[in-house]
Structure 1
Amino acid sequence: MVQKYQSPVRVYKHPFELVMAAYERRFPTCHLIPMFVASDVVEEEGNEEGSTNRVERRCALDVDAPRLLKRIAGVDYVYFIQKNTLNRKERTLHIESHNETFSNRVIISETCCYSVHPENEDWTCFEQTASLDIKSFFGFESTVEKIAMKQYASSIKKVCLLLHLINTCKLGVSFVLSEKLNSMQNTVGAVFVLCFCVTDKLDADYIKRYLGDLTPLQESCLIRLRKWLQETHKGKIPKDEHILRFLRARDFNMEKAREILCQSLTWRKQHQVDYLLETWTSPQVLQDYYTGGWHHHDRDGRPLYVLRLGQMDTKGLVRALGEESLLRHVLSINEEGLRRCEENTKVFGRPISCWTCLVDLEGLNMRHLWRPGVKALLRIIEVVEANYPETLGRLLILRAPRVFPVLWTLVSPFIDENTRKKFLIYAGNDYQGPGGLVDYIDKEIIPDFLAGECMCEVPEGGLVPKSMYRTAEELENEDVRMWTETIYQSASVFKGAPHELLIEIIDASSVITWDFDMCKGDVVFNIYHSKRAPQPLRKDPLGAHVITSPVGNNVQLIDKSWMLGQDYSMVETSLTCKEGESVQGSHITRWPGFYILQWKFHNMPACSATNLPRVDDVLATLQVSSHKCKVMYYTEVLGSEDFRGSMTSLESSHSGFSQLSAVTTSSSQSQSSSMISR
């Protein structure tokens, strides 16, 4: 299996031309890069204007290997072929290199690119990818590949090992940099040392500040998985911190992490978990009898959640609320935990990616082992394990009674092994001594019910009154209602009866965003603009002007007397959306007025007599024509500043949110738009 490495985008705070001048100083040799022994030009060509230059070089590297090994191999140096393509007009340099030495046994390929930063023309970006494929190594090809790639990635971050011309070689630490800079008498020399002796701080600081310490290979896994999601995932791309949790949960195995992450993203969208904190309100019975709550933070700055499980009437809560309400409440706790981690990251100036949970078991007895209650607990554990990996930093279990081993035997098989390693269990009052609670939580915030000095607002619990119990039928209906309630709206689309949504825009630079799923059938999605509102002027609760349709949740706004190009105009190219697709996009408005989002029935093209239809086409036509189309959608209007601020990227580059729109990615048109089928 070929081993791959991909770096994040490195950013140098210097113009492209200055970086290129520094880059050229390494040829044919450079005393600042001692392992780069020599380089010979094999071929060189350029265009008449002089804007493009292509150079092929044969480069010699003095690799760090024992002399005996070099003698056995019969070589003193390792030779690489490097091809550079410099485009001065577009301000790009593309570098491709591969090994010449040992090419019958090992294939090493590397691609690098220097380009102008998309948001600052006085800065230069650098990207790098590499692959290593060992064809023959006495049966140990896979093992040697992994070891070699780790060494390669490590050398990129440390010193003096690149596969062609050491494009990101770091020749020392800060004191070396200072010494070299003091000896330089010209700007180009200073930039040379700056660019190739020190990792740029724009991305390095971001990683250290928000993600923590990552090895180059771990960093590469994060970049590759995020890039894969941007290219293939149907939906919103999660933050780097979110992706990183799934990678860590699978020890940075890309395939395994990608599988569980995609499953979780689908689950989050199906159940609208991203909007849970905005839409979920705990029932009063939970507020009164659920014995858990957030309480300051531990010594490491992690949010601290306190759960008095021994005081909780699990049977009463299940009988009064049902499994789904309890699960929804626990999910809201996890979502709140992620939010608090982000806040603490800002407060403490270092990445806080998980929380600490303190579980007090005083009062735990056999009634807590009620079978439906244990079943609900196991389901909650299963859902949390699958969708919130690596969010629990430490679990402190205090005052574990004799019945605890029975409960532990039931639940431990459902808990991931890495998670179980984070459990610390104390029986009786053992937590009060050395090695106990004070090692993890400041004495000042130990809850009062644990003999501490801090008042804890976690409810004391107690038995849920039986008068609040519900019948099995009532609980089942409540579960169905709960998971069907969503911020998304549903609409039907029929032949000759499109569904339309009206949005009034006051600020011309606003951003209309949309996210919809095609639940059934195919539609064509359009966006129109009109200076005047459709008639009649009756408004629905969402602010849309409604022309009521005789077919339920279907709204038509554009009057048949309106003329396209006269009464209203199309502002986006039509987009055909197939059944099962998720569509996400945005439109930056150019003018104030009224914008109409339209989902129109997609008519299959008629079949001519000379072109007989395929059986599959006929069946598809019959299936679509015999059913109505159904769409589930959500729209939001944002200010342009808020919209730009919501897009985060390691590269500080264009968001994948608008990557399919040529208009949006054009820097010459500030009033841009996008429509994406993901």
Structure 2
Amino acid sequence: ASHGTVHPDNEDWTCFEQSASLDIKSFFGFESTVEKIAMKQYTSNIKKGKEIIEYYLKQLEEEGITFVPRWTPPVACKSESSTSHTRRPVSPAINIPDSATKEGLNNKEILNTSSSPSEPTAGTPDDKLDADYIKRYLGDLTPMQESCLIRLRQWLQETHKGKIPKDEHILRFLRARDFNIDKAREILCQSLTWRKQHQVDYILDTWNPPQVLQDYYAGGWHHHDKDGRPLYVLRLGQMDTKGLVRALGEEALLRYVLSINEEGLRRCEENTKVFGRPISSWTCLVDLEGLNMRHLWRPGVKALLRIIEVVEANYPETLGRLLILRAPRVFPVLWTLVSPFIDDNTRKKFLIYAGNDYQGPGGLLDYIDKEIIPDFLGGECMCEVPEGGLVPKSLYRTAEELENEDIKLWTETIYQSASVFKGAPHEVLIQIVDASSVITWDFDVCKGDIVFNIFHSKRAPQPPKKDSLGAHSITSPGGNNVQLIDKVWQLGRDYSMVESPLICKEGESVQGSHVTRWPGFYILQWKFHSMPACATTNLPRVDDVLASLQVSSHKCKVMYYTEVIGSEDFRGSMTSLESSHSGFSQLSAATTSSSQSHSSSMISR
């Protein structure tokens, strides 16, 4: 079906619209393919329709007809919408006065500009003025895409009360759903509601980031890439993500990331004017030099996943390219955790470089001019991005302050609590079927000093007996204490140590990983750390009550989380990325097949 209507903002223009409906029944699983073929056919039909209209306009011009009086229906009708005309009919697109294009007005101003009959419109035929605007501000669009943009914007103007986004941003939502107008409308409406609820439109003018963010968040804007896209630099490896979450909570971090995205939209608009071509996305350069297991602190990763989810939902198609530089060995573990939350289209824009690969062919110089490569990457341009560093513990918020925050909920749901006593360590059993799996751990020493060990055994430990806890069950009603290693087992014969013992002081947080060499049973052990000289050995015998009190004075508390990542996930974590230089599939294979196990442990003090 096709029809012409008077343009809502200018009576002297006609909009020609064409629509078609397609109902595909079961087609042996090829419904999506049939739909794509139909869309292709429909697009070519629209193009043909546009050519026919342009042909007749040219014919009129050749005959010297530059003005056709408005058609009047035989029966007089007062309604303005029931009249139409044939002066300057155009294809389905957004029309703007020539002067507005030259002045670079934003789209809302353009659409609200209507020229009165007394004003001169244009001295030359400008049937393609709308196409010039689209090419200049939005990019090359097919007639079908133009039509989708018109219809979605018109629907928003009719139904949405409040601030309507500019055409560039509406287009991002259409692109994110492959121009399926119903799906794009759904996610756009959700986003507009979200923006209103959180007052996102005013975030740049009304919200001042806390000082700790300004000092320790190692990210900032830095010139632009070779395509004119604004460039954002993030030194993630130098950033204390755990410290920032503990000092600020998740909400302030999320708000800061939103302000960065809003600033990105503003910079895209500016660069569109500066470079004279549409720039709708930005480039992000992430330097991972310094990344280690400290960055895998679970609440920090949870905060990161929520931020990714919010950004994906409300700023689709805004990331033009993501350059990940100096990715260390621990990166595949982080990628395994984060990648399922990233949209497939976004993932295709990732380029990952291990070590100094970024300096070679296909590296950074392909995307960024030599003059602006930051000094910390070997360039000559001073980069004003903060260097990050550890957030002082004095800035951490207390448990009471975080009582109603998500962090406390994560601690309760993700972490398990364990009590460790002198002579009664806490042990966790992990059964490994595939060699080369990765065991990861993350724990906080809440009270006392402990020694952390990881052991391997071919034999399955016996399940703990209920009476083995003895008096300890009385002194630790809220804590869990399990012993798995049999008293008769001998180290070196029945089980072996696969990592060096790690002494952890009260208040420390430890994250680490171990690439397993053999299948079998692995035991993580938290053991009471005895002082070299212990005065308790000289104490006389006391009754049971005093003994239990004595034991409780040697009680330590640990909050821990552990996870096993399969060898396939670990090795193949890079394969889904379209990367010109990524040595991770080889690197991970080398790591897991080497004769010596590799681990990475980090204490965040």
The TM-score with structure 2 as length reference comes to: 0.54
Tell me whether 1:401 sits opposite 2:294 in the alignment: no
The equivalences for 1:470-481 within 5 A come to 470-475=397-402
The TM-score with structure 1 as length reference comes to: 0.48
Give the 3 Å change call, closer, same or farther, for CA 150–474 of structure 1 in structure 2. same
Tell me whether 1:469 sits opposite 2:396 in the alignment: yes
Q: Distance in 1 between matches of 2:35 and 2:293?
A: 53
- Where 2:332 maps in the other structure, the secondary structure is helix
Deviation at 1:333, TM superposition (A): 0.3
- Which of the numbers 264, 268, 278 marks the counterpart of 1:351? 278
- Where 1:467 maps in the other structure, the secondary structure is helix
- Where 1:470 maps in the other structure, the secondary structure is coil
Quote the residue 2:13 is aligned against.
125
- Which of the numbers 416, 421, 425 marks the counterpart of 2:343? 416
Deviation at 1:129, TM superposition (A): 2.2
Q: Distance in 1 between matches of 2:363 and 2:397?
A: 42
Deviation at 1:199, TM superposition (A): 7.1
Give the 3 Å change call, closer, same or farther, for CA 373–393 of structure 1 in structure 2. same
Q: Distance in 1 between matches of 2:180 and 2:90?
A: 31
Deviation at 1:469, TM superposition (A): 0.7
Q: Distance in 2 between matches of 1:206 and 1:186?
A: 26
Conserved? CA contact 1:316–1:465, under 8 Å: yes
Deviation at 1:169, TM superposition (A): 3.2
Tell me whether 1:151 sits opposite 2:44 in the alignment: yes
In structure 1, the gaps of 5 or more residues are 1-108, 161-167, 481-678
Cα RMSD (Å):
3.2
Q: Distance in 2 between matches of 1:245 and 1:187?
A: 38
Structure 1 or 2: more helix by fraction:
2
Q: Distance in 2 between matches of 1:293 and 1:185?
A: 58
- Which of the numbers 101, 113, 122 marks the counterpart of 2:5? 113
Q: Distance in 1 between matches of 2:145 and 2:312?
A: 22
Conserved? CA contact 2:229–2:282, under 8 Å: yes
- Which of the numbers 286, 298, 308 marks the counterpart of 1:371? 298
Quote the residue 2:184 is aligned against.
257
Q: Distance in 2 between matches of 1:144 and 1:478?
A: 50
* Number of residue pairs aligned between Structure 1 and Structure 2: 353
Deviation at 1:210, TM superposition (A): 1.2
In structure 2, the gaps of 5 or more residues are 69-85, 92-124, 408-605
The equivalences for 1:549-560 within 5 A come to none
The equivalences for 1:305-324 within 5 A come to 305-324=232-251
Tell me whether 1:454 sits opposite 2:381 in the alignment: yes
Conserved? CA contact 2:231–2:285, under 8 Å: yes
Give the 3 Å change call, closer, same or farther, for CA 412–143 of structure 1 in structure 2. closer
- Where 2:267 maps in the other structure, the secondary structure is helix
Q: Distance in 1 between matches of 2:145 and 2:247?
A: 46
Q: Distance in 1 between matches of 2:87 and 2:161?
A: 43
**Structure 1 letter corresponding to 2:54:** C
Give the 3 Å change call, closer, same or farther, for CA 460–151 of structure 1 in structure 2. same
**Structure 2 letter corresponding to 1:218:** Q
Tell me whether 1:214 sits opposite 2:127 in the alignment: no
Give the 3 Å change call, closer, same or farther, for CA 246–132 of structure 1 in structure 2. closer
Deviation at 1:233, TM superposition (A): 2.5
The equivalences for 1:255-294 within 5 A come to 255-294=182-221
Quote the residue 2:358 is aligned against.
431
Deviation at 1:155, TM superposition (A): 1.5
Give the 3 Å change call, closer, same or farther, for CA 193–433 of structure 1 in structure 2. farther
Q: Distance in 1 between matches of 2:9 and 2:90?
A: 22
Q: Which has the higher contact order (CA 8 A, sep 6+)?
A: 2
Quote the residue 2:307 is aligned against.
380
Conserved? CA contact 1:447–1:453, under 8 Å: yes
Q: Distance in 2 between matches of 1:209 and 1:248?
A: 18
Conserved? CA contact 2:15–2:89, under 8 Å: no
Give the 3 Å change call, closer, same or farther, for CA 180–466 of structure 1 in structure 2. same
Q: Distance in 1 between matches of 2:240 and 2:24?
A: 64
Q: Distance in 1 between matches of 2:388 and 2:36?
A: 56
Q: Distance in 2 between matches of 1:419 and 1:135?
A: 31
Quote the residue 1:542 is aligned against.
none
Conserved? CA contact 1:393–1:422, under 8 Å: yes
Give the 3 Å change call, closer, same or farther, for CA 291–386 of structure 1 in structure 2. same
The equivalences for 1:572-587 within 5 A come to none
- Where 1:462 maps in the other structure, the secondary structure is coil
Quote the residue 2:169 is aligned against.
242
Quote the residue 1:488 is aligned against.
none
Conserved? CA contact 1:111–1:130, under 8 Å: yes
Q: Distance in 1 between matches of 2:288 and 2:279?
A: 27
Quote the residue 1:673 is aligned against.
none
